[in-house]
């Protein structure tokens, strides 16, 4: 039996200790509970335990859960954290409060247009960055050694920044699975340095968020400056069981 309430209490304790170790304030950290494969009753338990931010990685799986949570008046905020196909954008902007996984310029344009058609206010977004350079990962490419790639990213950011219906709030990354701690740390650090570059280049925008850190790596992410953690298994147990 998975005890969601107890898992959240233990997780909050670990988050608290990691922020204190890092000389940060726990108030700087937003916990997003990632509910892919998790049934609605477990989401209700997490909501009763006080969580308000939830994440899903696929529009199709998210839709019934989000509609269910709205019907029940739970007042949850939903974050899209997985790759978004352009033909799912229309649906995604109706469902999600934040899109963390904007990973290309055409996707951003499509989103802004769809928001305009829906007469929506500015939709909060994060840009997903592939800091590890793994070919299997989604996200903007930003290899340090190659200045031109970084230039390309900065140009894309300027264009997205100017889109009228998107509210660019920061960066998101998915770290590699199970690398040595130093490699993990350098991935998170690269995302933070990138955010600092954006702060210098585009000082008018409020660059507040670094979404990084999952069940296996969130303590290192906190030490490296994460403001949003996306956590599934530490709350809901192993998936597929």
Ligand X SMILES: *Cc1c(COP(=O)(O)O)cnc(C)c1O
Residues forming the site for ligand X (CB under 6 A): 34, 36, 57, 81-82, 174, 214-216, 230-233
CB of 57 to ligand X, least distance (A): 4
Task: Specify the residue, 153 or 218, whose C-beta has the smaller distance to ligand X.
Answer: 218
Which two three-digit tokens encode residue 69?
């949570």
- Alpha-carbon dihedral 29, 38, 127, 161, rounded to 10 degrees: -90
Task: Specify the residue, 99 or 231, whose C-beta has the smaller distance to ligand X.
Answer: 231
CB of 233 to ligand X, least distance (A): 4
Whether 226 contacts 188, CB under 8 Å: yes
CB of 240 to ligand X, least distance (A): 11
Under DSSP, the state recorded for 165 is T
d(CA 102, CA 140): 9
Task: Specify the residue, 8 or 165, whose C-beta has the smaller distance to ligand X.
Answer: 8
Task: Specify the residue, 207 or 236, whose C-beta has the smaller distance to ligand X.
Answer: 236
CB of 121 to ligand X, least distance (A): 25
Which two three-digit tokens encode residue 234?
């530490």
Residue holding tokens 């979404």? 211
CB of 31 to ligand X, least distance (A): 11
Task: Specify the residue, 42 or 205, whose C-beta has the smaller distance to ligand X.
Answer: 42
d(CA 119, CA 95): 15
d(CA 54, CA 33): 5
Count CB atoms within 10 A of the CB of residue 170. Answer: 21
Residue whose beta carbon is closest to ligand X = 232
């Amino acid at each position: 039996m998975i005890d969601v309430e107890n898992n959240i209490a233990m997780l909050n304790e670990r988050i608290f200790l990691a922020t204190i170790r890092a000389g940060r304030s726990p108030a700087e950290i937003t916990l997003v509970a990632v509910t892919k494969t998790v049934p609605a009753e477990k989401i209700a338990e997490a909501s009763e335990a006080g969580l308000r931010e939830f994440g899903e990685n696929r529009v199709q799986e998210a839709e019934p859960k989000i509609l269910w949570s709205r019907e029940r008046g739970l007042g949850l905020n939903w974050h899209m954290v997985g790759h978004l196909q352009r033909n799912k954008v229309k649906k995604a902007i109706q469902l999600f409060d934040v899109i963390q996984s904007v990973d290309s310029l055409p996707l951003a344009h499509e989103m802004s247009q769809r928001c305009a058609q829906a007469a929506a206010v500015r939709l909060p977004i994060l840009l997903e960055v592939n800091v590890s350079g793994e070919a299997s990962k989604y996200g903007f490419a930003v290899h340090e050694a190659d200045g031109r790639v970084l230039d390309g990213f900065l140009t894309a950011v300027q264009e997205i920044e100017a889109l009228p219906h998107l509210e660019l709030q920061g960066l998101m990354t998915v770290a590699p699975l199970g690398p040595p701690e130093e490699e993990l740390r350098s991935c998170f650090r690269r995302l933070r340095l990138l955010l600092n570059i954006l702060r210098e280049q585009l000082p008018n925008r409020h660059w507040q968020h670094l979404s990084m850190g999952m069940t296996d790596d969130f303590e290192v992410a906190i030490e490296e400056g994460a403001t949003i953690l996306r956590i599934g298994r530490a709350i809901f147990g192993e998936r597929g069981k």
